[in-house]
Structure 1
Amino acid sequence: MKKRIIALLIGLVVGNNLVFSQQDSIHIGFILSDLYSARWYNDMIFFKERALEKGVKVTFIDCYDQIEKQKEAAIKLANIGVDCIVLVPIDSHDKQVVSIAKNANIPLVTYDRFLFDSDVKLCISFNSVKVGEMMAEQVMSKLESGEIFFLGGPKSDFNSTLVRKGVVSSLKDKRNNYKLSIKHATDWSEISAFIEVQNYFDENGSFPDAIICASDDLTKGALLAVEEKGYLGKVLLTGQDATIEVCKSILKDDVLMTVYKSNKKLAYASVDAILNMLKGNILEFNEEANTQFMQVPAIFEEPELITKENLVEVLVSKGIYSEKSLKE
């Protein structure tokens, strides 16, 4: 996506033009998707870390991957009177939290995932199309032709659609070389991936040459399925999130690659942007997000490709893992 810098006086678009002085105590409500995934737990830790540095109070609510619980969380935060609500949407088209925040004059920020047809003040995420492109390009670098199975997360999460878009666009010019089949799991869990990959085998009598998984949790499920049939290391597998389990599998040549997205960078950028927004400061954004309702100021962090060749160098140097932990 073409980069463009947009300078905005955010104080003009926030609720009732609420502006805080340095002495004001700011309270952020963070509605999470779930905490059973290490991904979201780490985001919470880093968001809290940065908020504490800035003297900001944060109330986190885990919604156990249930839309209705996100609605209940929004009502609770509105009643508490938080200054901003940060949401990791479970369903990109569900507008219950949007309505609650708007009625309470509380600015809503989406974190990592998108909300469609909605009035939000800021979108902070990663370039998911690029993630899909990275996956497809790595597979093509190892596979001149063959069958590729794209296993995405639930369609309700638009990030899954964006990853798929990146995969499809990368394969488009070489569509005669590859047979691509697409399936979206019911959720982002390991068990859902295991079921979908097992179903693929049952329907086709074999596994594809490559399985492009849109997240590491899906990759772990795919790994179990291919291992059960004795295909471990024979099917190219991709992932996203650089979890330690998948990183270890990359070092053992059981997985081709994953994508590292810095939880810390995203969380820190979010806290800083929200504080500037509430204080009415002028901010610079590198993108805009189209919610199909309005163009929303956005910050898109860049993902980083992780392969066996650069895994230790990149992740150890960033302090994500130690060499010892990767070998355990």
Structure 2
Amino acid sequence: MAAAGFRRSVVLKRRPGGEPSRGDFDIREDPVPHPEAGDVVTRTIWLSIDPYMRGRLREEQTYATAVQIGDVMTGETVGEVVESGDPAFQPGDLVVGARGWQTHSVTPGKQLVKIRKGAAPLSAYLGILGMPGATAYAGVTEICKPKPGETFVVSAASGAVGSVAGQLAKRAGARVIGIAGGPDKCFWVQDSLGFDDCVDHRSIDLRGELHAACPNGIDAYFENVGGAVQAAVFEQLNPFARVAMCGMVSQYNEKTPPPGPNLGFVVGKRVLIQGFIVSDRPERLTEWRTMAEPLVAEGNLVYREDVIEGLENAPDALAGILTGRNFGKLLVKVSPEPS
């Protein structure tokens, strides 16, 4: 089966000054390419939308190369092989790892991982069985290290990373408190994920609500949000607390970073604060996927997805995840799954 026809790609038109919008992107069409030796052409089925993408739209480089004007926007996908120049892949294989907001991608075969058909829903390999799940696993096991009886707090608790981080902390025996936006998300975090409590960060008295949920202070914190949520949590950290700095989504649209917190307490309380990026340890993704696949199949790890239909709606999806409009792992359905 050979690739044929045209592909559609979402390319960066201009750098957004604040919240990204459709006007910052263009749709480009060109023929579906044929692969060179070692390359694989895939038809995109699912596209992952993640907060880190906002950083790729800035002119200055962060820990990864910025997307340039006119380039295809980056993002991990699950797809079906339609043509292969790598003998390890055949048409019809399902793979994860191709990158790009486009209907078809050309990717070196060495950057792709085959998906076992029927092991889990395909979309799960971009969420709980993909980078978000592995991120939660790395931050919890390497930095937070929750112990039985400790209080573990995670922000963006209903999101793709936070929901997994809290479940892992519960499995370790900790008392887990989520922080999420709105009563529906908080109810799901407690009822479906089994967290001990969940605080609505839109509460009039965030500090008071958090103190009531954590009467013995906070021993470990998984940070996804920053801002006022971080300030409320930091005030209640116990001596020798551990903080895993995963993300700061509340300030990703800001032109200039807000004033930083006063970290004088870190010395007196001997608090460990460590940033991490899961791509620093690619082996953890394979380790996590091997461990988590059976847990997901058995229903022992719970997840939720928020699906947007159509590649052209990816810019709206990105704007939504940066302002908390999504509920669960945010995905764009680009094309049908194979029958």
Provide TM-score, normalisation by structure 2: 0.37
Give the structure with the higher percent helix. 1
Provide TM-score, normalisation by structure 1: 0.38
Q: Which has the higher contact order (CA 8 A, sep 6+)?
A: 1
